[in-house]
Amino acid sequence: MSIWVTLEMTVKEGAFDKLSEFLKANLPNVRGFDGALQVTLYYDQASRSFLLQEEWSSQQHHQAYLKFIEEKGVMGTLLSFMEGAPKVTYYNRLVM
């Protein structure tokens, strides 16, 4: 059964345009990574709140992806646009 992952961050003042360019270049890699099922982005301009909502085959798939982007420097670049580290939450899908 798949899991949902949310990453909540605040974009640095004046960094949104560069973040957008970075995301356009890198989102195809996320969406093509083994186990990635869906990635959706949300942004609130007034508060500069940025939310990634992702669906993965498993938490292990997502953690493998995080390890990969840490090793390649992609995570460091993403975080350079943010005010601090993201809040990451994993959700298990409930079937009722």
pTM of the model: 0.88
Confidence of residue 96 (pLDDT cuts 50, 70, 90): confident
Look up the CATH number of the domain holding residue 84: 3.30.70.100
pLDDT digits (tens, 9 = 90+) for 36-53: 999 999 999 999 999 999
**Domains identified in the chain, total number:** 1
Q: Virtual CA dihedral for 70, 90, 57, 64, nearest 10 degrees?
A: 20
pLDDT digits (tens, 9 = 90+) for 54-65: 999 999 999 999
Closest by CA to 69, choosing from 37, 29, 38, 42, is 29
Which ranges constitute the DSSP H helices of 35-73? 59-72
Structural domain for 52, as ranges: 3-92
Q: In this structure, which long-range contacts are made by residues 17-20, counting pairs with CB atoms below 8 Å and at least 24 apart in sequence?
A: 18/81, 19/50, 19/81
